[in-house]
Chain A
Amino acid sequence: MSNGSSTISGNDLRRKSRIPNPIAFLEAYFGSGVKMIGLALILLTKTWSLILRGRIDWPETVRQCEMIGLKSFLVVGLTALFTGFAMSLQISRELVLFGADTAIGGVVSLALIREIGPITAGVMVAGRVGSSIAAELTTMMITEQIDALQVMRIDPVEFLVVPRYMAGILMMPTLSVYAMFIGLIAGINIAYGAANIPAATFLDSVKQTILERDFVVHFLKAFINGTIVTTFACAIGLSTKGGAEDVGIATTRSIVWTMTMIFVFNFVVTSLTYAPR
């Protein structure tokens, strides 16, 4: 990769930690943030230009789908289950008070399809997979494996980023839908246990409430989350240089960046699609 690292290494942090001027400190950190977004956008552009030219390593993409998708099923399922339990309990309690028991299914499903499903899957994949991608690529940078690829005239973006990105945008919607269904199952159980609402009534309410648009927005959010997690994690991994401690720093940065961006873009999409007109 290019020589000029645009991100903060361990040495940079130590140097910056000695800066007494808070303005200079803020400048350094905001400057690094702008650079990070720029790097991610450049990487995303290059990734898409390769995808559109059909330069996709499918066997490696399948392997990454296993890493990103299959191995996340348990943790995403557990998170969605308990989030579904807690959310349904709160909603059931309030709606029962207002005598709107039959609306429990609709409200729970709306929350799951519009917000909780994509967010739960996105955040869990960002924590489990994004950090792992950043650590792996940073290690490859530090141990000159990326340099070795370039000497062998293998494009690191095509070889490393495209399969991870493809796996991200394929598996994130799958995980989001899965999280939504697990949440629904939790909701059905809580609605029955806490408000004595039969599953059939719950599902009737779901059918009457959910619109086609909700599914479109759900998949849009999941696609964006897949893009955010893989692009930022790869950009951080491929732009970090230094030593072993920089692997830890890159991992932390990846989690912070991907989770923050997931919440920011979730709000942007929600406000563009559901804001009152």
Chain B
Amino acid sequence: MAQAAETPAIKAVDIHKSFDGRPILRGVSFEVYPGETLAIIGPSGCGKSTILKILCGLLEPDSGEVIKETHDIGLVFQGSALLNSYTVRENLQLALRGRKLSKADEEEQIRKTLALVGLADHLDHYPSELSGGQQKRTSFARAVVYNPRIILYDEPTTGLDPVMSTIIEDYMIELERELHAASIVVTHQYSTWTRTADRIIMMHAGRIVWTGDPSEAVDSDNAYIYQFAHAKREGPMLDA
């Protein structure tokens, strides 16, 4: 867990973003400390993935600022986003490009990271030869192979069966312990945010509508988190 006196690893300050004049983010601010996992939850279309893309620099905010202690950010994509024409080893080598490692160090780092996600014997497989869960784990390995100080997860367990979701969540917990990185998980999977997060922010219509820790979420009297955590049709989130 984060220390109160520590400097945040990443801080979003009053982020606004619109697409085609339609506001997606309306003043989102938060910070995440080293060793802390923040879950961003909320219904589809609330701006969760947009904030993640802004944090890693894939999108520019219209206004506001992202303050990072490093540009070394690992992002685990929802759809794995592995390069299809490259093997598992080559996908990880790409992530290490430009880091001036010797061939031996590079190979050792790749093997060590793949062992962490249980894929040490899949070095020369192509993504198409892996199962969905294995692709997701390779995506994990690629995101963390250079030991980033900040790891972002975009819907890491969406579309996976409950067993594979648990395995992925276990890897996330283990990675946090191993790397002491600041992690941000965008998800709407109940088990993912309750198991992996130290702190939660709930978004709706581009704004943060609730902040707390997982143990408070279920019993909170905040109408948004109550509706979301209890999967109720009735509540302030009309789209539900």
Measured between beta carbons, the chain B residues less than 8 angstroms from A149 are 83, 94
Interface centre among B58, B82, B94 (most CB of A within 10 A): B58
Measured between beta carbons, the chain B residues less than 8 angstroms from A32 are none
The answer to whether A151 and B58 touch across the interface, beta carbons within 8 angstroms, is yes
Instruction: Choose the segment among B70-78, B109-117, B216-224 that binds chain A (4+ C-beta atoms closer than 8 Å).
Output: B70-78
Q: How many residues of B contact A (CB 8 A)?
A: 23
Q: Mark B115-147, 1 if CB is under 8 A from A, else 0.
A: 000000000000000000000000000100000
Measured between beta carbons, the chain B residues less than 8 angstroms from A19 are none
Interface centre among B57, B77, B78, B98 (most CB of A within 10 A): B77
Measured between beta carbons, the chain B residues less than 8 angstroms from A151 are 56-58, 73-75
Interface of B is mostly: loop
Q: Which residue of A lies closest to B98 (CB)?
A: A153
Instruction: Choose the segment among A140-148, A204-212, A222-230 that binds chain B (4+ C-beta atoms closer than 8 Å).
Output: A140-148
Measured between beta carbons, the chain A residues less than 8 angstroms from B57 are 150-151
Q: Mark B174-207, 1 if CB is under 8 A from A, else 0.
A: 0000000000000000000000000000000000
Measured between beta carbons, the chain A residues less than 8 angstroms from B71 are 153
User: Which of B58, B82, B98 is the one whose CB lies under 8 Å from A147?
Assistant: B58
Within 86-144 of A, Cβ neighbours of B (below 8 Å) are at 140, 143-144
Q: Does B231 contact A (CB under 8 A)?
A: no
Within 141-165 of A, Cβ neighbours of B (below 8 Å) are at 143-145, 147-154
- Kindly state the separation between the CA atoms of A62 and B58 in the bound complex, as whole angstroms: 30
> In the complex, what's the smallest C-beta–C-beta distance from B80 to chain A, in angstroms?
8
Q: Does B240 contact A (CB under 8 A)?
A: no
Within 23-79 of B, Cβ neighbours of A (below 8 Å) are at 53, 56-60, 71, 73-75, 77-79
Q: Does B22 contact A (CB under 8 A)?
A: no
Measured between beta carbons, the chain A residues less than 8 angstroms from B60 are 3
> In the complex, what's the smallest C-beta–C-beta distance from A85 to chain B, in angstroms?
38
Q: Does B103 contact A (CB under 8 A)?
A: no
- Kindly state the separation between the CA atoms of A151 and B81 in the bound complex, as whole angstroms: 11
Measured between beta carbons, the chain A residues less than 8 angstroms from B98 are 153
* Residues of B in contact with A (beta carbons under 8 Å apart): 19, 53, 56-60, 71, 73-75, 77-79, 81-84, 94-95, 97-98, 142
A-B contacts, 6 listed (Cβ < 8 Å): A3-B60, A148-B81, A149-B94, A151-B57, A152-B95, A154-B97
Given contacts A145-B84, A149-B83, 15 further A-B contacts (CB under 8 A): A3-B60, A140-B83, A143-B79, A143-B81, A144-B77, A147-B58, A147-B81, A148-B83, A151-B58, A151-B73, A151-B75, A152-B94, A152-B95, A152-B142, A154-B97
